[in-house]
Structure formats: C-alpha cells, structure tokens
Amino acid sequence: MRLYMHAVGALVIVKNLLTSPSDMSLSGHEMTVYQNVLKHAAPLSLNLMAVKITNRPDDFCGWCEELIDVCRNRVNFDLLDDDQLKPLKKLGDILAAGISISRLRMATIAPWPFYVEFIKGQSEVQALEERTRLLNYTAKLNETSLASMIEDDRLAYAGKHGNNHDPLVYDFDVQWFGSTKAAKAFHQLLANNAELFDQALANIPLQGEVTRDEYDAFVTAYSEAFASIDEKAPLVPATRLLAMRRPDQFVVLTSAKLSEYSQGLEIKLGGAKPFASYWTGLILTVRQMHWWRSSEPEDQQELFYWQHRAILLDMFLYADDSMAQKSNYLKLLNKPKRTSAGSTTKRMRRSKESAEALVDRVLLSEELPDFVKAQRLSIISQVQGGKSIDEVISLIKKIFG
C-alpha cells in the first residue's frame, strides 16, 4: 500500500509539473513548444513518473530547464524500451528550443546589468573564455585583408575549422558562433578570389553605427562575387564575415539559429529576400533592445561585452553541459601525437609564408626557453612539412633541454 501511494504521489507531482505552464503567460511560440512537449511526453509518462521531482519553476524557461534535465540526466534509461528513445530525444530537442525561445524573449526587455550577469552566468557552459580568445584574434585580423591573410587565418575569420589550426596558435575553436564549413561556393571564392569579399567588407566601417546604405552596399558587392561563379549568394556566411568585422553590430546566423531567432524574437528571417529580412528583422530588432542601446561602460570586462554585444546574443541560445568540451580546439589539443615514423596520420604541408607566420607567433612567448627560439629555422622547416608546432617544440626540448 505504501509503495502504491508513493507511485500515486509521484504521478501527481509529474502531472502538476507538466501542466504548470497552463498558468503561465506564454507567447504564441512558447505555447506551441508546450503543446509539442505534451505530445512527446505521453509515451514516456510512466518513465517520467519514476523520477523524483522537487523543483516546480513558475516561469517557462525554468520549466523547460527542469524538464530537459529530467529527460537527459535523471530518467532511468535502463527502463526505457527501444521505441521510447526516439520520442525522448525529440522531447529533449523541443525543450532545448523552448529554452532558447524563452531566453530570447527575455532578451528583448533586458537592461544592460541583466545582460552582463546573464553572459557571466553562461560563461562556463558556453566556453566564453575560448570565444573571447577567438574574438580578440579576429579583431587583430581586421587590420589586414582577407586576400593577404595566410590560409589558416582566413579560415579562422570565416568560421571553418581545419586540422592545420595548430592549438598553440589558435587556442580556440574557430567555429564558435557559427560554422561555414558546408558553404562550398563561399569557400571556393574565399580560396581563389578573397579580394571580392574584401571589396564587400570595405563598405562596413570599423567604427560607428553601420547604416542601412552601408549594409546594402556590402550585400550588393557580396552578391556580385557569387554571380561571378554563377552561384546564389548565401546569407549565413555573410553574417559570419559581418559579425567578425563588427561584433557590436551583427549577429552570426546558422541554419538552426534561423528558426530559434525567428520564434524567440517573433520576427521573419529567410524567405525570398533573406538579406533584407536579416537587417529589418534581426538587426533592427536587436538595436531596439535596452542592453544594446546602453552607453559605453567604464568597467573593462563590461566594455568587452559591450564591444561584442550583438554577436554575444548567441549565448542566449541553449547549450548543454557538454558543449564546451566539444570544441575543435580541445580535440586537437588532446589529440594523441604520432609515436612512430611509420604513422599513417595524414599531414597537410604548409607554405613557407604560413609556417613562418605561425612559428613566429608562438616564439613570441616569454615562457619558451632561448634554446627553443634559437631553432627557429628548423621549427619552420618541420612545420612547413606538416608537423604541428607543439610536436616540433616538444621534440626540441627533449633533445636540447
């Protein structure tokens, strides 16, 4: 009898949790999320009932966060049937989208202090330190043109990770904020005619508020670059270039983010005129938000956030606890080194210019001993042949240390 009463009590708690959003003030998109949650939770009701639930948030975002934790961390997977795994995953995805939508809705009315505290609160799960290193690196790249950059820098700016991004130089995942690796025509132009993108970006000033005319001039030149190879200009890579040049003015989009930003901010993105909707829908909406319109702060940390306040809107989107560990930088950093000359690990040769630039950046470190720096030419030769800088320096330390 006691076990039966416990089960009934658990069922009541789960039912109360699942029905609590009906008493909340939800947007149309949040209501759609809620209805989809109920639909996909139905075949999992007995499994959810077995989970101890003590927290019943009174806001929709907190409700989604509680329920997604139940689905991903607290439900007993050993008791799940195979045909329940798919609806459970779908339920988690719906809740993740719900969190993003709710947070973006919150961002529309958030003042600057709330924006700052939210970014700080997300710093660990969203790998803010690594993102900061990326933004500081690309800021320096704005001092030169895409056409004159070494290939690795050009790809870092454009958002495409490669195995040649040596973690001693690129101590960040270049694909934070948005990857462009699937944009084949974009990377064809970037590799062969990068000066066309330089001409487009020249219309975007490095200081001051970017105007619609300046943005339209960029779009025209950017579109003409793709017309030269009979391709349609894609929006997503353009937003990456714009946000790297002016992270205070532009937001990076990806295919997945189109939907989240559209629903969370209740705007229209994409469609027949994607570049126009990006400006009128997203950028002008962001510019109306209290935190974006805030005056320049004196605090140095807050100043960094302010100088990157548009691109950091990305951090309002949902990220799970494993996101930071999926960094391509960490994967390369922790990649096992070759143990024999007969290793079949594929290596890509670098140009002498590229090898010199990367090695010289690393040798600027005061932590490296002089005997390592004295081997500059040897290090360049080895790196040019395809070895990582870390690999070569480690070998030199073993020989001469």
Task: Tell me the per-residue pLDDT of 200-227, one tens digit each, with 9 for 90 and over.
Answer: 999 999 999 999 999 999 999 999 999 9
276-289 tens-digit pLDDT: 999 999 999 999 99
Q: What is the DSSP string of 306-356?
A: HHTTTGGGGGGS---TTTGGG-HHHHHHTSPPP-STT---------HHHHH
Asked if residue 326 has pLDDT above 70, the reply is yes
Phi-psi region of 335 (alpha: psi -120 to 50; beta: other; left: phi over 0): beta
Claim to verify: residue 214 and residue 324 sit in the same structural domain: yes
Claim to verify: residue 193 and residue 286 sit in the same structural domain: yes
Asked if residue 10 has pLDDT above 50, the reply is no
Q: How confident is the model at residue 346 (pLDDT cuts 50, 70, 90)?
A: low
Residue 263 near residue 280, CB atoms below 8 Å: no
**Domain total for the chain?**
3
56-82 tens-digit pLDDT: 899 999 999 999 999 998 988 888 888
377 burial (CB, 10 Å; 0-12 / 13-18 / 19+) is: exposed
User: What is the pLDDT at residue 337?
Assistant: 61
What is the torsion angle, in degrees rounded to the nearest 10, for the CA atoms of residue 127, residue 130, residue 131 and residue 132? 120
Claim to verify: residue 35 and residue 125 sit in the same structural domain: no
Claim to verify: residue 11 and residue 147 sit in the same structural domain: no
Please state, as a whole number, how many other Cβ atoms lie within 10 Å of the Cβ of residue 114: 14
Claim to verify: residue 133 and residue 253 sit in the same structural domain: yes
Angstrom distance (rounded) from CA 135 to CA 144: 15
Measured CA angle at 343 (ends 340, 349), to 5 deg: 110
Residues 6 or more apart whose Cβ sits within 8 Å of residue 123: 129
Angstrom distance (rounded) from CA 261 to CA 392: 45
Global pTM reads 0.86
Query: Which of 163-172, 195-204, 377-386 bottoms out in mean pLDDT, i.e. has the lowest?
Result: 377-386
Phi, psi of 156 (to 5 degrees): -65, -40
Please give the structure tokens belonging to residue 94.
């719906």
Q: What share of the chain is helix, strand, coil (3-state, %, to 5)?
A: 60, 0, 40
Q: Tell me if 337 is assigned to some domain.
A: no
Q: Tell me if 346 is assigned to some domain.
A: no
Please give the structure tokens belonging to residue 9.
């009590």
Residues 6 or more apart whose Cβ sits within 8 Å of residue 313: 104, 107, 251, 286
Residue 308 near residue 135, CB atoms below 8 Å: yes
Claim to verify: residue 219 and residue 311 sit in the same structural domain: yes
Angstrom distance (rounded) from CA 375 to CA 166: 19
Residue 46 near residue 76, CB atoms below 8 Å: no
Q: Tell me if 289 is assigned to some domain.
A: yes
Averaged pLDDT of the chain: 89
136-166 tens-digit pLDDT: 999 999 999 999 999 999 999 999 999 889 9
Angstrom distance (rounded) from CA 97 to CA 318: 7
Claim to verify: residue 202 and residue 56 sit in the same structural domain: no
Residue 20 near residue 58, CB atoms below 8 Å: yes
Please state, as a whole number, how many other Cβ atoms lie within 10 Å of the Cβ of residue 393: 23
Residues 6 or more apart whose Cβ sits within 8 Å of residue 95: 33, 37, 64, 67, 68, 71
Claim to verify: residue 312 and residue 280 sit in the same structural domain: yes
What mean pLDDT is predicted for residues 329-342?
A: 70
Claim to verify: residue 302 and residue 199 sit in the same structural domain: yes
User: What is the pLDDT at residue 356?
Assistant: 79
Angstrom distance (rounded) from CA 130 to CA 176: 9
Write down which residue in 107, 135, 162 finishes a domain: 107
User: What is the pLDDT at residue 338?
Assistant: 56
Claim to verify: residue 372 and residue 323 sit in the same structural domain: no
Claim to verify: residue 373 and residue 289 sit in the same structural domain: no
Measured CA angle at 309 (ends 162, 33), to 5 deg: 85
Domain that holds residue 159: 112-329
